[in-house]
Each structure stands twice: as C-alpha cells, then as structure tokens.
Amino acid sequence: MIITVTLNTALDKTFTIPNFSLDRVHRPTEWKIVPGGKGINVSRVLRELGLQTLAMGFAGGYTGGMIRRGLEQEGLASHLVPTAEDSRECITVIDPEAGTQTEINENGPRISAGELSALDDALRARLPEAEALVLSGSIPPGVPPDIYARWISAAKQEGVFTVLDSSGPALAEGVRAKPDVVKPNRREFAELTGEDLLTADEIAARSLALVDTGIPCVLVSLGRAGAVAVTRNEQWVSRSPEIPFVSAVGSGDAFVAGFLFARHHGEDLEGSLRLATAAGSANAMTFGAGFCSRECILSLAAQVETRRLDLESKD
C-alpha cells in the first residue's frame, strides 16, 4: 500500500472558457468538479495503474463533505480527519484559444493542534502497512513547517520509502530529514537552492550537490521540457513526447505516481524516469487532474526520450 498525505485537500473546479478575459461574464464550455490536492491526485493515478493506495489528510465543513463523497464515488480509499473550518476550493480556468491556464487557490482551513494530533496518530498507526509514503503539497495555516520532516523520520524508522513534493519552508525543512526522493518542479527547486538554473544540465548538476547532502534521489519536473533524475551513481534527463496539450494541473502528481509505479515493478532509474515523464504527459492531455489512463501512460512511455549525463559527485 502507498500512503499519500494531502494536508490541504480541496474541491477542484476546472472550467474550459475559450477567449477568457477579465471584467466579463463567461459560461464554460466544459467543467469538472472533483476532490483534489496533490496527494489525492497521486492516489488517483496510482489506483489507475493498479496499485493499492490510501489518501490521508484533512476535510472539513460543507466543502469537506463534498470531498469525502467524491472520493467514495471514485472508489478511492481515504482517511480524512474532520476539521472545524471548511476545506478550500481551487479554481482553474483553461483557455484553449490563448493556451493559458489561470488558477485561483484558497489558502485552506486553519488546523488546530488537536486536529493535527489526530492525523499524526492515524498516519503513524498505518505506516507499518505501507510500502511508500508520499507527502505532497502546501501546508495549511496552523501546521508547523517541519511536519513533513517529522513524518519522514517516522517512516524511515519503519523502513518505508518516502517521497517529498512540496514547496517553501515545508520543502526546506523536509529535505533536512533526508527523504528517499525529493521532487520539486523547476520553480520550487530554484527557491530551495537559491539558484535560477535555466538548463536541464545545470539543474542536474545542482541536484547532484543536493544528493551529496544525503538525499538518495532528486527528481525535478520541467513541464513540457521533461524532467531530471539524479542519484549519486546515475544522472538522466528526459524529454516529453509531443502531445495535444489540455492542462498542466496535476501533471507533477502524475509524475510522482508514475515513478512509484515503475519502482514498485523493479525498474531502474532510467525506466522510472521514462514512466514518470509519460505519466505527467498523459495527465497534460487529460481534462482534470489525475484522470489519465494506464493505457495512455504506457503508450507514451515508449515515446519518451532519455539522455544520460556524466557528472561527478563531490562527496
């Protein structure tokens, strides 16, 4: 079983509005309203790939009720701790004519010490059953930024493989606990390292420096440009296949799911990067986060180009 944690679950509303502009009334031509948040998106793709998953996190109020019902309707196993305040809503507007994507994300509910303690107890109780733990997304108000670091340490004590995909202070604190995989996107990686690196090769070199601090694997997703995968012994760059682009929402989460699926089946680093890149691309072809199909992912994997780098560790 793979546990995903989404501290800031959301009701995701995605609208397609051709020729979207401000200060006008619009009516969408297509829409999708589903439970969301990065960990939930990862669980959705893992389930599609045939792996058992448990989505954990918080859900409160009327919005939280809709999140719970939506997960039940999808058949996604979950354990969501109730919160006194309402869960957030996130709105994405896709304009296919302009090729733009506009997002409005609420901050999320303030989490009390008691609510956090309840989730902490529940997560630690399930860790012995887990193959992997995925800690994804933003930290809602009231949650200390070192929470991911605490859970990474707890998972390591149980021998559970850990993946961290966050940003800001939560990412900076989390890497200190040395998760097995850190997966920022290009912007998050720049914030973490303090360097605005432009090329995949530059990002790979800086990733190797992060590996030298004790993190076994660094994955950096680069959107349409592909991704970078770096360990001490191997460094790879992938290039995404050409696809009919729909939306980038959830593509980084699909990438994580694809990587874990490949690892579960014993793929090496190159194969895992190839499958992860394919999953991110499959998601970008799909309306709604995490609704890409297994068939599409496996088909695209054969079209992903990879290139091995020859970098030297300084450790």
- In angstroms, the Cα distances linking 133 to 76, 154, 174, 211, 257 are 16, 10, 13, 20, 11
The answer to whether 253 is a known catalytic residue is yes
Buried-state track 134-143, b at ≥16 Cβ within 10 A, e below 16: bbbbbbbebb
Given the residues 12, 121, 253, 315, select the one marked as catalytic: 253
Beta carbons within 10 angstroms of residue 173's beta carbon: 20
Half-sphere CA count of 154, side-chain side, radius 13 A: 19
- Which residues are known catalytic residues? 253
